[in-house]
Amino acid sequence: MDAIVVGIDVSKDRLDVCVTPSGEAMAEANDAAGVEKLALRLAGLTPALVALEATGGYETLAAAALSAAGLAVVVVNPAQVRSFADALGKRAKTDPIDAEVIARFAAASGVRPKPLPDEQSRLLADLVTRRRQIMAMIVAEEARLKRAANRQLKKSIGRLLAALRRELETLDADLDKQIRSSPAWRIKEQLLSSVPGVGKGISRTLIAELPEIGSLDRRQIASLAGLAPFTRQSGKWRGKSFISGGRASARAALFMGALSLRDTIRSSRPSATNSSRRKAQDRRHRRDSPQTAHHPQRHHSGKPTMAPTKRLTAKTVALPLWEESRAAERLGGRGRACRSRGRMRVILPGGTEMATTRPAGPPSPTSVGGKSGAALASPVRKSEGRARQVPRPRRDEAASGRRSGWG
């Protein structure tokens, strides 16, 4: 014989009841008299389980009265019930149909009755909820105060904020009294407050909204709080894991505790001294500044390229450089030229140097490189650390030397 399971769809004014497997249906008012009458009728049926759908607190009176009458009562998740109805293919949605779906869901899913919170636990949960509502109103009014431009509006918002803060202090005092009334709650609050980042507000929220804490393992309690990431995989596809579901109020409280702990850790780190901060800034500056190529008019590493008394003019910089470039061009680009006290030494491959002299006056750019420019002197060959004069080669010998591999 199948066990009798009762499903109850709860609304603000009425309780729709369906008894399975007989399919009997009934309805009662959602008040003290209607709940008492329903408890007497169900006691005669001796059901194995009575399932109610959570409906924003409207189910509290019926669940408490039926549990006090000795019936096994369980409050089920409405999202799970809706998914079960979709799986059954029930598109229509009415209160009697919902009561039948709840009864069939309770029988098929195998949910087990759990002890309902007592009056003190319900009062603590209500006080925590009310405190959360007051905090939300304070945050909203403070945001309005920042945007208000009229003086009268600011005064009105200020009066309301003062009243809300007084009410918040009263609620905190009531919560302290409620926690002190239970030794178990006091011990649990002390244990939770010992965790870094968890204070009185978070610990009381967890006691009220997550009473299962301490009786479940870490995976179960994380899933119940909505903090356990769920795997998403199908075949070769691997999706990202996300957290979802759970009790939003407990999850939000734990999130704020994690944020405060992160800020505390950052503020407790030792700050760098002024000298080390300057050194770090210098390193960043040297790393980020671009390295420029060498240029005679740019000074590198504090070493000037010219005497400080000389000015950077075309006569002191541009003209000698132009002369050197012309001398190098005269050699066909096979050597390099360097300047030294009015004379230029052109260093050819193989160590051969050719010295050039300038006329008495500074030559003009048009004359340098012509017949009136610097005259080639006798080549100077380095040998054993001393320079000795060698005869200047004839034109045909210079040509044969170029062919022999000087370039």
Distance CA 102, CA 17 (A): 10
For the question of whether the overall pTM of this predicted structure is more than 0.75, the answer is no
Q: Establish if 297 belongs to a structural domain.
A: no
Could you tell me if 58 and 158 lie in one domain? Answer: no
Could you tell me if 129 and 254 lie in one domain? Answer: yes
Could you tell me if 81 and 145 lie in one domain? Answer: no
Helix H segments across 9-68?
Answer: 32-45, 60-68
Could you tell me if 141 and 210 lie in one domain? Answer: yes
Could you tell me if 69 and 123 lie in one domain? Answer: no
Q: Establish if 291 belongs to a structural domain.
A: no
Mean pLDDT in consecutive groups of 10 residues from the start of the chain, 407 residues: 85 91 89 90 88 87 87 90 90 90 90 82 90 94 92 94 95 91 89 89 90 87 89 89 87 89 77 61 66 51 49 54 61 50 51 51 45 42 46 52 46
Task: Give the chain's end-to-end CA distance (angstroms, integer).
Answer: 112
Domain termination site, one of 64, 89, 109: 109
Distance CA 70, CA 49 (A): 11
Q: Establish if 278 belongs to a structural domain.
A: no
Q: Establish if 285 belongs to a structural domain.
A: no
Task: Identify the CATH number of the domain in which residue 90 sits.
Answer: 3.30.420.40
Could you tell me if 172 and 124 lie in one domain? Answer: yes
pLDDT at 369: 43
Beta partners for residue 51, in sequence order: 7, 74
Q: Establish if 148 belongs to a structural domain.
A: yes
- 137 class by beta-carbon count within 10 Å (0-12 exposed, 13-18 middle, 19+ buried): middle
Q: Give the Cβ contact number of residue 50 at 10 Å.
A: 30
Could you tell me if 134 and 99 lie in one domain? Answer: no
Distance CA 366, CA 362 (A): 12
Distance CA 257, CA 49 (A): 39
Q: Establish if 354 belongs to a structural domain.
A: yes
pLDDT at 163: 95
Task: Give yes or no for a contact between 212 and 201, defined as CB atoms under 8 angstroms apart.
Answer: no
Domain termination site, one of 60, 88, 109: 109
**Cβ neighbours of residue 234 closer than 8 Å, sequence gap 6 or more:** none
pLDDT at 289: 60
Task: Give yes or no for a contact between 108 and 85, defined as CB atoms under 8 angstroms apart.
Answer: no
Could you tell me if 68 and 28 lie in one domain? Answer: yes
Could you tell me if 68 and 162 lie in one domain? Answer: no
Domain enclosing residue 58, as ranges: 5-109
Domain termination site, one of 86, 109, 132: 109
Q: Give the Cβ contact number of residue 99 at 10 Å.
A: 27
Q: Establish if 300 belongs to a structural domain.
A: no
Could you tell me if 73 and 130 lie in one domain? Answer: no
Distance CA 136, CA 129 (A): 11
Q: Establish if 303 belongs to a structural domain.
A: no
Number of structural domains in the chain: 3
Could you tell me if 162 and 137 lie in one domain? Answer: yes
Could you tell me if 254 and 370 lie in one domain? Answer: no
Please list, residue by residue across 18-37, b when 16 or more beta carbons sit within 10 angstroms of its beta carbon and e when fewer do: bbbeeeeebbbebeeebbee
Task: Give yes or no for a contact between 209 and 125, defined as CB atoms under 8 angstroms apart.
Answer: yes
Distance CA 387, CA 352 (A): 10
